Structure 1
Amino acid sequence: MNNTWLIVGILITFSCMVGIGIYTSRRVKNSADFTVAGRSASPVMIASTILGSCVGAGATVGTAETAFKIGIVGWWQSLGIAVGCLILGLFLAQHIYKTKTETVSQVLVKTYGPKVGPITSLFGAIAVFFSILSQTKGFIPLLQSFIPVPIVTASAICVALVLAYVLFGGIFGTSLGGMLKMIIILISLIICAIIAFSGLGGISGIKSSFDFDPWLNLFSRGVSKDIAIGLGFALGVLVTQVYIQAVLSARDAKAARDGAILSAFIGFPIGLFGVLVGFYMRQNFPSIDPAQAFPQFLILKFPPVLAGISIGGLMLAALGSNAGLTLGISTTVSRDIYKKVFRKNADDKEMLLVLRIIMVIVAVAAGIFAITKAGELIQTFIFLSFGLRTCVFLVPMLFAFYYKGRLTNEAGIAAVLVGPTVNLVWNLFKPTELDPIYAGLIGATVAFILVNEIAKRMKKEDTGVPLSATDTE
């Protein structure tokens, strides 16, 4: 009977999500509406889009699982994401908005010319696909915990729900769907944190039950390693298509900034709430599967229907992140590869159709990989995907926005090639203890500076005029 009421609660949440999809589909009149909401989003909508994509199963269920196993270090993912949102709002959002583009690759093309576009789009698409796969794989066991279906069926359900989430409404769907998801998750997390904190006996009870090292030590895996993990998530926010897309959907530059900052302040405590749940379940039910810590806590402490609604919210967390990332990668491929390389004269109707077709292909591909052994192998590269995104985009973007001297197209191309290449080499061979994300960023910076100076001097020698990044080839 309890399981029946759990399913009823889940269905209530999903019915609301479907209603949002139907409503938002009516607002899509063209491809700009689909990708950037016609540039009319409020700060709340922007924050909902960002949080709806970055606060997925990993930042909720995953945080509780990590805290259950090794302690407060489980906070690093959501903490890093929140720091990234704050940096995005304070230093980059208004610059990005003023480019009036639709993809992060187009932001760089504005400065470094068209040749940089396909390179960044390719690296970015590969990196983001790994994260989409991660969210699909995270959803499957969550569904199977309450509805005993085969893995193939669970994967198919995930794909169908992701497409229903975003296929018709685009950025409208991810923003409003993200708002619904965040309301459910925040209320659930706050109630869970209060119950867990009280059940643990407050701060004194936590201190008496858990040793400082490793349980209460935020750097128990090593200062350099834990900071690198947090930094990887933070910088990943600054260069991931769906977060940039949320900023570009703003009604004005101030809304873009405020939306990113709002998402940061909402995001900061989320991981800590999950940590408390992990600690409570570790203390009281140490023999359970760590991955089930959060959903089992809900079943134990919430009335069945409310537990189902909350679990439905957790499922939407995985689906929302999946949908947002799927929208981001599809926008990048359609805008920066299909239109730029294959169909330069494609009209708006064709682009909207192509965008939706690519979304279906991406979602189905992730569903297929998630149920194969290949998916298990790719799953090990999720953190690598954050490093790749960062090392492709961050250095040339920062130079474009903040460097006051002359920039060359060649420097931008060098940075987007060298950065991810060094990152990959460091991950594979680990020549030193330096974290791969640091190595990639250093490599991109050095390559940018050297090539920029060489290109300027060569151009001056040939023509007497320094090469400007406005000289496209």
Structure 2
Amino acid sequence: MTTLTVIGIFCVLALIIGVGILSSRKVKDEKDFINGGGKAGSLLLCGAIMGSLVSSQATIGTAQLAFNYGLAAWWFTLGAGIGCLFLAVVYVRPLRRSSCMTELQVISEEYGALPGKLGSVLCSIGIFISVLAQVVACAGLITVLFPQVSIPAAAVLSIAVMCVYVIFGGSWGAGMGGVVKLILLCIASIAGLIFVLVSSGGVSGLLGGLKHLLAGTDLGLIQKSANGLNNLNTASDVSNRFVNLIARGAAKDLGSGLSLVLGVLSTQTYAQAIWCGKSDKVSRRGALLSACLIPPIGIAGTAIGLFMRAHYITQAEVAALANAGLPAPQLPVLANTIQVFPSFLLNHMPHLFAGIVLGTLFISVVGGGAGLSLGMATIMVKDIFNKITFKNSEKRRTGAPRTELLVTRCTIAGILLVSAVIAATVSDTTINDMGFLSMGLRAAVVFVPLSCALFLRGRINQRCALLSIVISPLAVIFGSFLNLSFDPLFLGLAVALLICAIGYFIPRKKEAVLQGKREEATL
């Protein structure tokens, strides 16, 4: 890595740190910290959403998956964009009219304190797994760029930047940092896409390069032993894998897309951005802007992954060819596929620009972890801390401004510190596998009860809602051990829908309608 690359990286880091410090001046109380005081515009709201949603999986992960599966890697950003579209069109007005500050508050006010508290705990666990994945990815990126830095040191550096990103400015910091990152990421994506298309001779040239390298060649015929993928015997096999939205199977890829849609609707971080807006119209525009901008970033990442597949091989493929007594192509070797995106930047882009993009990539991962930690802290403080600390029901809802601001900041710091400790000892592979479980847990806990609370007020029996919140995530966990041909999230959603459908036909007695208030009074 050249001096210009390092300068580019540190210029971006300095810019983001400056934005974080500047945003702290806008925080006067906990409302400013949690939801920007409800004063954010559409661009700031879009920055808050994309700052968390466009992170390691949307950038590093998309290029990594495209290296092996091509167009199917688009599902993460495509599903995220569709989720933002549903958030804008269907959920903005009901969420804002609920006058709540967390999704679990919406559930608690409809079904009572116990469903809300259990949902808060389960949802926090799911979000924490994603925060942990972001810290691991961030630490991994640091060690790729600076091999001399140890994993523990990289994890500490990761959470330090995350703290600056969000802990001082809260929603303002996440939003303003997200806007800066959004601009840099869009420029990087456009530049990367243009380079790939020009250097490859367009889409047809890119596909031709893949077929030349893989169709019926020694490298194409050792894919099973090297990568656990089907061998590529013909040009048709190459097209079916790399130019196919459901290359991993319809159930797998469509399920991945749907899990992203429901994940956006079930995660506190993105609902929190909606509450930041000045009005319903502003919030809707911010979510719609996110829906338009996220999928193209995925297209750029996919194109980069395909370009790298046509010009690089992995260490595992070199070993498989050697075991088969075959020579390896004279191509650069990647130690593992997580290096796809960083290697593209370091080896194929101008040095200063590569540094700026790498810095942006680092901030993308940082923003994801910071935004998710803010959402988790909000749930823990609003839905757990306040209910334990304050006797008065209105205080439970609003909290004591100074105390709550301090507790929220300390909670964010604690979440990130625990994540760093775990990240220093847990492997990347384990965290990536748990990421799917995280998305399933959040959607299983929140999506169906929340939707019923917003659109079927007073219609669902409270005990059935409670059963849905408890049993649905257990179904997801159980399904993850069964090696199902589809995402275990579907099993959890089916259970939630069935239980809530039964609850729809069980009348809510007048006493049941007041049950939530009685539970609040006894806490």
Q: Which residue in 2 is equivalent to 1:104?
A: 103
Q: Do 1:392 and 1:416's aligned partners in 2 also have CA atoms closer than 8 Å?
A: yes
Identity between Structure 1 and Structure 2 (%): 32
User: SS at 2:307's partner residue?
Assistant: helix
Q: Do 1:369 and 1:375's aligned partners in 2 also have CA atoms closer than 8 Å?
A: no
Q: Distance in 1 between matches of 2:516 and 2:306?
A: 58
Q: Do 1:421 and 1:440's aligned partners in 2 also have CA atoms closer than 8 Å?
A: yes
Q: Which residue in 1 is equivalent to 2:492?
A: 440
User: SS at 1:27's partner residue?
Assistant: coil
1:471–1:131 distance in 2 versus 1, CA, 3 Å: closer
1:116–1:25 distance in 2 versus 1, CA, 3 Å: same
Q: Which stretch of the first structure deviates more once superposed, 2-11 or 337-346?
A: 337-346
Work out whether 1:174 is the aligned partner of 2:174.
yes
* Deviation of 1:468 (Å): 3.5
Unaligned runs of 5+ in 2: 211-237, 314-332, 519-523
Q: Which residue in 1 is equivalent to 2:86?
A: 87
1:281–1:379 distance in 2 versus 1, CA, 3 Å: closer
Work out whether 1:397 is the aligned partner of 2:450.
yes
List aligned pairs for 1:311-460, cutoff 5 A.
311-344=358-391, 347-373=400-426, 377-403=430-456, 406-430=459-483, 433-454=485-506, 456=508, 459=509
Q: Do 2:20 and 2:165's aligned partners in 1 also have CA atoms closer than 8 Å?
A: yes
Q: Deviations over 1:144-188 (max 9, x none)?
A: 222221111111100111101111000000000011111111101
Q: Which residue in 2 is equivalent to 1:23?
A: 22
What is the identity, as a one-letter code, of the residue corresponding to 1:330? Answer: A
Q: Distance in 1 between matches of 2:495 and 2:39?
A: 38
Q: Do 1:97 and 1:250's aligned partners in 2 also have CA atoms closer than 8 Å?
A: no
Q: Do 1:73 and 1:219's aligned partners in 2 also have CA atoms closer than 8 Å?
A: yes
Q: Which stretch of the first structure deviates more once superposed, 281-290 or 75-84?
A: 281-290
Q: Which residue in 2 is equivalent to 1:296?
A: 343
* Deviation of 1:136 (Å): 0.8
User: SS at 1:178's partner residue?
Assistant: helix
* Deviation of 1:470 (Å): 7.8
Q: Do 1:406 and 1:468's aligned partners in 2 also have CA atoms closer than 8 Å?
A: no
Q: Distance in 2 between matches of 1:258 and 1:252?
A: 10
Unaligned runs of 5+ in 1: 460-464
Q: Which residue in 2 is equivalent to 1:462?
A: none
Q: Distance in 2 between matches of 1:416 and 1:316?
A: 34
Q: Distance in 2 between matches of 1:321 and 1:141?
A: 15
* Deviation of 1:436 (Å): 1.3
Q: Distance in 2 between matches of 1:301 and 1:361?
A: 39
1:454–1:22 distance in 2 versus 1, CA, 3 Å: same
Q: Do 2:206 and 2:307's aligned partners in 1 also have CA atoms closer than 8 Å?
A: no
Q: Do 2:252 and 2:486's aligned partners in 1 also have CA atoms closer than 8 Å?
A: no
Q: Do 2:50 and 2:178's aligned partners in 1 also have CA atoms closer than 8 Å?
A: yes
Q: Distance in 2 between matches of 1:404 and 1:472?
A: 16
Q: Distance in 2 between matches of 1:340 and 1:294?
A: 45
Q: Distance in 2 between matches of 1:57 and 1:272?
A: 15
* Deviation of 1:446 (Å): 1.1
What is the identity, as a one-letter code, of the residue corresponding to 1:326? Answer: S
List aligned pairs for 1:19-418, cutoff 5 A.
19-147=18-146, 148-210=148-210, 211-286=238-313, 287-288=333-334, 289-344=336-391, 347-373=400-426, 377-403=430-456, 406-418=459-471
1:380–1:404 distance in 2 versus 1, CA, 3 Å: closer
Structure of larger gyration radius: 2
Could you state the TM-score of these two structures normalised by the residue count of structure 2? Answer: 0.85
Q: Which stretch of the first structure deviates more once superposed, 93-102 or 40-49?
A: 93-102
Could you state the TM-score of these two structures normalised by the residue count of structure 1? Answer: 0.94
Q: Distance in 1 between matches of 2:15 and 2:477?
A: 42
* Deviation of 1:221 (Å): 0.9
Q: Do 1:241 and 1:332's aligned partners in 2 also have CA atoms closer than 8 Å?
A: yes
Q: Deviations over 1:80-139 (max 9, x none)?
A: 111111111111112111112111101212322222211111011000111111111111
Q: Deviations over 1:209-248 (max 9, x none)?
A: 3421111111111101110011111110001011010001
Q: Distance in 2 between matches of 1:95 and 1:352?
A: 26
* Deviation of 1:258 (Å): 1.3
User: SS at 1:381's partner residue?
Assistant: helix
Q: Deviations over 1:236-270 (max 9, x none)?
A: 00010110100011111111111111100001111
* Deviation of 1:70 (Å): 2.4
Q: Distance in 2 between matches of 1:124 and 1:404?
A: 22
* Deviation of 1:395 (Å): 0.7
Q: Distance in 1 between matches of 2:369 and 2:37?
A: 22
Q: Do 1:189 and 1:270's aligned partners in 2 also have CA atoms closer than 8 Å?
A: yes
1:471–1:25 distance in 2 versus 1, CA, 3 Å: closer
* Deviation of 1:467 (Å): 4.3
Work out whether 1:468 is the aligned partner of 2:513.
yes
* Deviation of 1:284 (Å): 1.6
What is the identity, as a one-letter code, of the residue corresponding to 2:60? Answer: V
